[in-house]
């Protein structure tokens, strides 16, 4: 965690200034809109009232000028009204057929947006001239019409000045608020910066924090909470570090015990393998020296008895003696095979490479349904006798599994030095039905013995399924040291 807060380029002063200005500007905008709407409404109402009043007044004022045909007097009346009222853009008098009689434009550039008109009528003398009731108007004689065009621009100009004055007051209030916000931010910035500095120190592992100046209120409570938190975190960290050191020591001791147990296990497995091989060698020697010698003697005696019996005409006894001799030969061959299994003499005579080559050749001859191929590196390296017999037994067990369980038609054996020459690599791969994952991961088919044999020499054994079917058994054993070979 590099930062206590999300990265931001906004300082406290900027935030407070924004907090003040945004509502002030919004208020100014709202006030401006309200003033504009109110002003527009007032202007429209004033124009409508003034337009009706001017049109009726002018209709009454020009009545006698229209009756007498004095157009100059009518024009003077219209011009006087137009010049006296700035909102009047134009005034005109129309006859009864609505043809212009007199028209006055006081301000040529002024745009007229409102138009009002009133009828010019001649009424009886006993009728009030300002009475516009429909019943009376029906008895009057229509002389024409008065039209007045009004422009709201003069009224809007005054309204704009009032609007600008109101906006200026609101902006002034916003400026005062911003100044107050900046002053407050300046007073709050230092305590908050000290608080942030203390938090950064705690984050970096320095718990001896000092917070000056001390302030009151919520900021003072925040400073006190940070100081208390620093002390609590310091105590918690010391406790956790002590716990971690204690657990680390226990873990190291457990690892050391496990390593020692694993080394002891490898030594026991290696010793067990050596004892097994020594016992096999002893049994092979006894079979070779005693049992085979006895079988040879029995065969010679049986052959001699068969000749004597046949010479004396005792054919039944001769046949029995010959059967004994053949049975003895068979037992002698089986004993020789047992001796080879118990003590591979070919390993002493040909070395590991030659012994493996002879074993693969025999498997290829005995099992014609599966073809066995060998790729061997003649310069295997300085293997001790225990390692050599271990590699030999490992390949023997792997080939036995292939013959018994794989149902393979092709099997390849690779025996070579590893890359760099630090060890020996053995690979036995077939194209059979493959080994179940559960069996490969646990036990079965002699895998336990293979794993223990490889582990005894600090090697590595992997058993994988081959894509498309089959199994690959791969082992790596380090080369023996000079002491091991000795």
What are the two backbone dihedrals, phi and then psi, of residue 466, each rounded to the nearest 5 degrees?
-85, 135
pLDDT above 90 (res 412)? yes
Look up residue 181 and give its two tokens. 């916000």
Mean of the per-residue pLDDT values for the chain?
Answer: 77
Does the global pTM surpass 0.85?
Answer: no
- 408: region left, alpha or beta (phi > 0 left; psi from -120 to 50 alpha): beta
Mean pLDDT confidence for 44-62 = 83
Task: Map residue 270 onto helix, strand or coil.
Answer: helix
Domain definitions of the chain by residue range: 12-157, 351-485
Closest CA to 355 of 399, 313, 317: 399
Token digits for 372?
């066995």
pLDDT tens digits, residue range 24-38? Answer: 677 777 777 777 777
- Within 8 A by CB and 6+ apart from 287, the residues are 335, 338, 339, 342
Taking only the tens place, the pLDDT of each residue in 236-266 is 888 888 999 999 999 999 988 887 877 777 6
The pLDDT assigned to 446 comes to: 67
Give whole-number Cα distances, 23 to 171, 177, 231, in Å.
11, 10, 42
Residue-wise pLDDT for 414-461, tens only, equals 998 887 777 889 999 999 887 765 455 445 546 777 888 788 778 888
pLDDT value of position 436: 60
Q: Take residue 247 and report the two structure tokens written for it.
A: 């657990």
Give residue 470's region: left, alpha or beta (phi > 0; psi -120 to 50).
Answer: left
Residues 426, 304: Cα–Cα separation, whole Å? 51
- Under the banding of pLDDT at 50, 70 and 90, the label for residue 7 is very low
Q: If you average pLDDT over residues 336-364, what whole number do you get?
A: 79
Neighbours of 241 (CB within 10 A): 10
- Backbone φ and ψ of 460, nearest 5°: -130, 140
Residues 194-209 have a mean pLDDT of 78
E strand intervals along 388-447: 410-417, 423-430
- Which of 3.30.365.10, 1.25.40.20, 3.50.50.60, 3.30.565.10 is the CATH number of 351-485? 3.30.565.10
Rounded to 5 degrees, φ, ψ at 458 are 60, 35
Give 433's DSSP letter. S
- DSSP for residue 463: E
| DSSP state at residue 125 | T
CA distance 9 to 446: 70
Distance CA 258, CA 265 (A): 10
């Amino acid at each position: 965690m590099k930062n206590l807060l999300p990265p931001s380029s906004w300082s406290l002063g900027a935030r407070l200034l924004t907090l003040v200005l945004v509502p002030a500007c919004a208020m100014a905008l709202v006030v401006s809109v309200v003033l504009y709407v109110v002003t527009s409404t007032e202007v429209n109402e004033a124009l409508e009232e003034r337009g009706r009043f001017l049109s009726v007044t002018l209709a009454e004022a020009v009545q006698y000028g229209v009756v007498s045909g004095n157009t100059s007097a009518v024009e003077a009346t219209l011009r006087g009204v137009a010049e006296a009222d700035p909102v009047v853009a134009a005034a005109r008098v129309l006859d009864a057929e609505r043809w212009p009689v007199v028209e006055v434009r006081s301000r040529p550039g002024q745009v007229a947006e409102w138009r009002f008109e009133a009828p010019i009528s001649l009424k009886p003398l006993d009728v009030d001239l300002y009475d516009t009731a429909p019943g009376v108007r029906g008895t009057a004689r229509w002389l024409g019409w008065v039209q007045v065009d009004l422009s709201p621009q003069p009224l809007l100009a005054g309204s704009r000045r009032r609007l600008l004055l109101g906006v200026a007051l609101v902006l002034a209030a916003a400026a005062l608020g911003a100044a107050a916000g900046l002053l407050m931010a300046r007073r709050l910035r230092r305590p908050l910066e000290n608080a942030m500095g203390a938090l950064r120190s705690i984050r970096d592992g320095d718990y001896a924090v000092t917070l000056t100046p001390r302030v009151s209120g919520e900021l003072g409570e925040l400073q006190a909470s940070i100081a208390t938190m620093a002390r609590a975190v310091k105590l918690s960290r010391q406790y956790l570090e002590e716990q971690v050191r204690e657990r680390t020591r226990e873990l190291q001791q457990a690892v050391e015990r496990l390593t020692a147990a694993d080394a002891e296990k490898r030594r026991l497995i290696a010793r067990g393998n050596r004892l097994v091989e020594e016992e096999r060698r002893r049994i092979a020697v006894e079979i070779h020296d005693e049992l085979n010698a006895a079988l040879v003697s029995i065969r010679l005696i049986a052959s001699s008895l068969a000749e004597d019996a046949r010479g004396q005409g005792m054919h039944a006894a001769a046949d029995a003696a010959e059967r004994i001799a053949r049975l003895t030969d068979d037992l002698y061959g089986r004993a020789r095979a047992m001796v080879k299994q118990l003590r591979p003499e070919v390993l002493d005579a040909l070395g590991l490479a030659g012994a493996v080559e002879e074993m693969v050749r025999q498997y290829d001859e005995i099992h014609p349904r599966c073809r066995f191929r060998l790729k061997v590196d003649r310069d295997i390296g300085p293997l001790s006798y225990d390692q050599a017999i271990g590699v030999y037994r490992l390949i023997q067990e792997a080939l036995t599994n292939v013959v018994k369980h794989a149902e393979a038609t092709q099997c390849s054996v690779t025996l070579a030095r590893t890359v760099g020459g630090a060890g020996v690599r053995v690979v036995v791969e077939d194209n059979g039905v493959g080994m179940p994952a559960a069996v490969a991961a646990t036990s079965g088919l002699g895998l336990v013995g293979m794993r223990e044999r490889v582990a005894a020499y600090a090697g590595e054994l992997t058993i994988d399924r081959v894509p498309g079917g089959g199994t690959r058994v791969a082992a790596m054993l380090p080369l023996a040291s000079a002491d091991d070979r000795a």
